[in-house]
Amino acid sequence: AQKITQTQPGMFVQEKEAVTLDCTYDTSDQSYGLFWYKQPSSGEMIFLIYQGSYDEQNATEGRYSLNFQKARKSANLVISASQLGDSAMYFCAMRGHGSSNTGKLIFGQGTTLQVKP
């Protein structure tokens, strides 16, 4: 069975500093994808970054980077130069690519990030 674990219920970071949000996963699929989403209080899930299991380089999207360590089954999100608008709930998610998977996402419990001015 696939599982995503986010062990940090809440995190604080000072504005302009970097922060790492942890994510570990479990899957028996050889091919899979890892996602990070941001969910502000409004409720909409905003796609941030994607890492494929066969991608050799860590994914980056602007201030977001994904620290992918396949052997450790971890996919931590790094946010550089935090901004007040980064305060939100962050979810790590996984999608398997096996024949039984059609694109459904398995989500972790989420981490609430608060950026302090």
Partner 1 sequence: DAGVTQSPTHLIKTRGQQVTLRCSPKSGHDTVSWYQQALGQGPQFIFQYYEEEERQRGNFPDRFSGHQFPNYSSELNVNALLLGDSALYLCASTEAGGYSYEQYFGPGTRLTVT
In angstroms, rounded to a whole number, what is the distance separating the alpha carbons of residues 66 and 77?
5
Q: What is the dihedral of CA 44, 50, 53, 57, to 10 degrees?
A: -160
Contacts of 105 (CB under 8 A, 6+ apart): 35, 93, 94, 95
Binding of residue 96 to partner 1 (CB under 8 A): no
CB of 43 to partner 1, least distance (A): 4
Return the residue of 41, 43, 56, 85 that touches partner 1, per CB under 8 A. Answer: 43
The stretch among 12-20, 63-71, 76-84, 98-106 that binds partner 1 (CB under 8 A) is: 98-106
Question: 19 or 49: whose CB is closer to partner 1?
Answer: 49
Binding of residue 47 to partner 1 (CB under 8 A): yes
71 CB burial (10 A radius; 0-12, 13-18, 19+) = exposed
Q: Which residues bind partner 1 (CB under 8 A)?
A: 4, 33, 35, 37, 42-47, 50, 52, 91, 93, 95, 97, 100-110
